[in-house]
A and B are shown apart, each in its own frame.
Chain A
Amino acid sequence: MSEPLLDVEDLRTTFHTPRGDVHAVDGVSLRLEAGRTLGVVGESGSGKSVLGRTVMGLVSSGPGVTVSGRVSLAGQDVHALAPAERRRLWGPRVAMVFQDPMTSLNPVKRVGRHIDEVLRLHLRLGRREARERTVGLLRQVGIPEPERRAGQYPHELSGGMRQRVVIAAALACGPDLLIADEPTTALDVTVQRQILDLVASLSRRSGMAVVLISHDLAAVGGRADRVAVMYGGRLVESAPTSRVFGAPRHPYTGALLASAPRLSAAPHSRLPTIEGRPPDPADPPPGCRFAPRCPRAEAVCRGGAPPLLDLAPVGGHPHEVACRLPLEAESTEVGHGR
């Protein structure tokens, strides 16, 4: 295995709030090779967005925040860099797409300028060149009449179009890694698919690695090589996509899959749900974070945090699970909670 593009080791992001320390990211390790796509799945509050921002270095140690661990991006230790050097990575090395395209574009700035200024900042392009490149980028992300659109303001574009603009701005300097933080959550279902397909095709064409963050397992499903499941600031399972869907080993992953609606289910049948509430990040339960909601939990689960262990057969792709009582390898029908 070659040197991975992204190597995250025991990353911890702690916010110091008046209520106490919030461990938003609590010891996450992951690797991603160039050109691959990693899906990060978890419910709201599981720390996936903070993970994305900390990996990029947008969240770093400062007043009220402590970051520990290591993020290595193309061999550079992101959090050891001076702020100005780190900024030089943002655009040419790593870029981010945010959740809500309605708010992630500046309302008083023309669409084209969002892209223009990145090109001029990082690639030192001239005004004319930057404008031409901008129009090309807008065309590349599937915006019709790119010359005209570049001169319009964000409020004149639909949500899907705006997200395409955001993606174009992120891709402008040809990053090695794109972190897409819930890129489709704020969009119509039909548009969601188009945007995800767009990201996938751009990744394929340019060999760009993608971290696709979502609360929606299904959205990540067909588009990620590996899926990492987060719960309460920790990774609970990380495996090739087919393994996560076909043979989940962590009870939480199993419960998530079981609670997804299926077309084959009888009409009006009740969806299985996960009982209880997500853990309070300021006061997490001891041991396994999922134990209070887990139907399989026993005393041992409440003892200490379960380590993330590779359960894959020798020679296979790693299938890491943080559970003391993992599901059987072949079992899929689990986590109904009753």
Chain B
Amino acid sequence: MRRAARALGELAAVLFLVSLGVFLLVTAMPGDPAVMVLGEGHPPEAYDEVRSELGLDRPVFEQYLDWLASAVTGDLGTSLVPPQHEVAERLLLALPVSLQLAAMALVIALAVAIPLAMWSAHHEGGRIDRAVSAGTFGVLSVPPFLAGLLLIMVFAGGLGWFPRAEWARLGDGLAANLHHALLPALTIALMELAQFTRVLRNDLTVTLREDHILASRARGRSPVRVLVSDALRPSSFSLVTLLGLSVGRLIGSTVVVEYLFSLPGVGSLVVGAANQGDVPTVQGAVLAIAVFYVLANAAIDLSYRALDPRIRRSHV
């Protein structure tokens, strides 16, 4: 109980620092918001007026506390660019798109990587293992923007199997939604998939040399059973660590892929807003991304405990 309370306290502290960082960084972005609002060629008094309207004439720290206080209640301000939507409202529209892409990418990556790694490790040093190693290495060296372009060219362009530059919300029906999401999700998944496969395969080969695996084989369990129910779990710790790191990369790839496929996600929102100097929107979107990142990693920390009984009762 006490450990849970402490973990929550730490989480709150991290989120606080993250919000501070986001605010300061975005405030330091080049460009004057007042010019963004009015356009150029107005008298200086007009700009001053806008600045005081936006509260920009106050000390930065005061601005931050103000922003934080409303952010906690879910109010992230309004966009500077017409039509002046609520930032929170735009985020609520964009977040499901990005979250769905990221989640689908993770599921695809794991669903392919786990069996592939087991297959490869089972044939350690053999032809299959070497082919998997070469293949994943190849995939790793293709950045998402290139992979995305290739996938679009082949599957959306040449073969015409998938739509391009369109998005269907869940409300338009699950099939349509998945049809639109698959190609971009696959683009994001590719690099993660290759990374996951390599890490898990290596850990599996180490585990498979351990005595308890030999002991389990000696009790007559089949190779598949030994792989799935004896070797996988003790080999998964590095993969879980990597999962935490990959959340960050996933966000990066999502931004690129949303831009590439012109999907209305948080990535497109941030890029658009940053180009227009729309400070509140950028702040809101980056805050949402940062909070997501921190929460995802907190969840992964918890999953270690579920995976490894040895750290469950030890002292932190």
Within 8 A of A (CB), among B185-238: 210-212, 214-222, 229-230, 233-234
Q: In the complex the two chains form, is A121's CB within 8 Å of B310's CB?
A: no
Q: In the complex the two chains form, is A103's CB within 8 Å of B212's CB?
A: yes
Q: In the complex the two chains form, is B310's CB within 8 Å of A153's CB?
A: yes
Q: In the complex the two chains form, is B234's CB within 8 Å of A98's CB?
A: no
- Chain A residues with CB under 8 Å of B107's CB are none
Q: In the complex the two chains form, is A121's CB within 8 Å of B221's CB?
A: yes
Q: In the complex the two chains form, is A118's CB within 8 Å of B219's CB?
A: yes
Q: In the complex the two chains form, is B210's CB within 8 Å of A88's CB?
A: no
Q: In the complex the two chains form, is B215's CB within 8 Å of A108's CB?
A: no
Within 8 A of B (CB), among A93-121: 95-96, 98-100, 103-109, 117-118, 121
Q: In the complex the two chains form, is A95's CB within 8 Å of B210's CB?
A: no
CA distance A318 to B307 in the complex (A): 55
Q: In the complex the two chains form, is A104's CB within 8 Å of B212's CB?
A: yes
Whole-angstrom distance between the Cβ of A263 and the nearest chain B Cβ: 35
Is B308 in contact with chain A by the CB < 8 A criterion?
yes
- Chain A residues with CB under 8 Å of B219's CB are 90-91, 95, 118, 121, 169-170, 172
- Chain B residues with CB under 8 Å of A172's CB are 219
Q: In the complex the two chains form, is B214's CB within 8 Å of A106's CB?
A: no
Q: In the complex the two chains form, is B220's CB within 8 Å of A104's CB?
A: no
- Chain B residues with CB under 8 Å of A88's CB are 220
- What residue in chain A is nearest B234 (Cβ atoms)? A108
Chain B interface, >50% SS class: helix
- Chain B residues with CB under 8 Å of A198's CB are none
Is B158 in contact with chain A by the CB < 8 A criterion?
no
- Chain B residues with CB under 8 Å of A217's CB are none
- What residue in chain A is nearest B222 (Cβ atoms)? A87
- Chain B residues with CB under 8 Å of A89's CB are 220
- Chain B residues with CB under 8 Å of A91's CB are 219-220
- Chain A residues with CB under 8 Å of B229's CB are 117
Within 8 A of B (CB), among A40-77: 56, 58, 63
Given contacts A98-B211, A100-B211, whether A107 and B218 have CB atoms under 8 Å apart is no
CA distance A88 to B222 in the complex (A): 10
- What residue in chain A is nearest B232 (Cβ atoms)? A108
Is B309 in contact with chain A by the CB < 8 A criterion?
yes
Q: In the complex the two chains form, is A90's CB within 8 Å of B211's CB?
A: no
CA distance A172 to B215 in the complex (A): 14
- What residue in chain A is nearest B308 (Cβ atoms)? A108
- What residue in chain A is nearest B217 (Cβ atoms)? A58
- Chain A residues with CB under 8 Å of B220's CB are 87-92, 118, 121-122
- What residue in chain B is nearest A172 (Cβ atoms)? B219
Is A124 in contact with chain B by the CB < 8 A criterion?
no
Is A291 in contact with chain B by the CB < 8 A criterion?
no
Whole-angstrom distance between the Cβ of B290 and the nearest chain A Cβ: 33
Q: In the complex the two chains form, is B218's CB within 8 Å of A56's CB?
A: yes
- Chain B residues with CB under 8 Å of A122's CB are 220
- Chain B residues with CB under 8 Å of A195's CB are none
Q: In the complex the two chains form, is B215's CB within 8 Å of A155's CB?
A: no
CA distance A90 to B218 in the complex (A): 6
- Interface 1/0s, chain A 294-331, versus B by CB < 8 A? 00000000000000000000000000000000000000
- Chain A residues with CB under 8 Å of B126's CB are 63
CA distance A104 to B222 in the complex (A): 17
Given contacts A88-B220, A153-B309, whether A98 and B214 have CB atoms under 8 Å apart is yes
Is A166 in contact with chain B by the CB < 8 A criterion?
yes
- Chain A residues with CB under 8 Å of B309's CB are 107-108, 153, 155
Is A84 in contact with chain B by the CB < 8 A criterion?
yes
- Chain A residues with CB under 8 Å of B307's CB are 108
Q: In the complex the two chains form, is A84's CB within 8 Å of B222's CB?
A: yes
- Interface 1/0s, chain B 283-316, versus A by CB < 8 A? 0000000000000000000000001111000000
- Chain A residues with CB under 8 Å of B221's CB are 87, 117-118, 121
- Chain B residues with CB under 8 Å of A155's CB are 309-310
CA distance A92 to B215 in the complex (A): 15
- Chain A residues with CB under 8 Å of B216's CB are 106
- Chain B residues with CB under 8 Å of A92's CB are 220
- What residue in chain B is nearest A179 (Cβ atoms)? B218
- What residue in chain A is nearest B229 (Cβ atoms)? A117
- What residue in chain B is nearest A57 (Cβ atoms)? B218
Whole-angstrom distance between the Cβ of B123 and the nearest chain A Cβ: 10
Contact of B212 among A106, A118, A153 (CB under 8 A): A106
Q: In the complex the two chains form, is A95's CB within 8 Å of B218's CB?
A: yes
- Chain B residues with CB under 8 Å of A58's CB are 214, 217-218
Sample (15) of A-B pairs whose CB atoms are under 8 Å apart: A88-B220, A89-B220, A91-B220, A96-B218, A106-B212, A107-B310, A108-B307, A108-B309, A118-B219, A118-B220, A121-B219, A121-B221, A155-B309, A170-B219, A172-B219
Which chain A residues have a beta carbon within 8 Å of chain B's beta carbons? 56, 58, 63, 84, 87-92, 95-96, 98-100, 103-109, 117-118, 121-122, 153, 155, 166, 169-170, 172
Which chain B residues have a beta carbon within 8 Å of chain A's beta carbons? 126, 210-212, 214-222, 229-230, 233-234, 307-310
**Top 8 A-B pairs, shortest CB-CB distance:** A90-B220, A103-B211, A153-B309, A91-B220, A87-B220, A104-B211, A104-B215, A106-B212
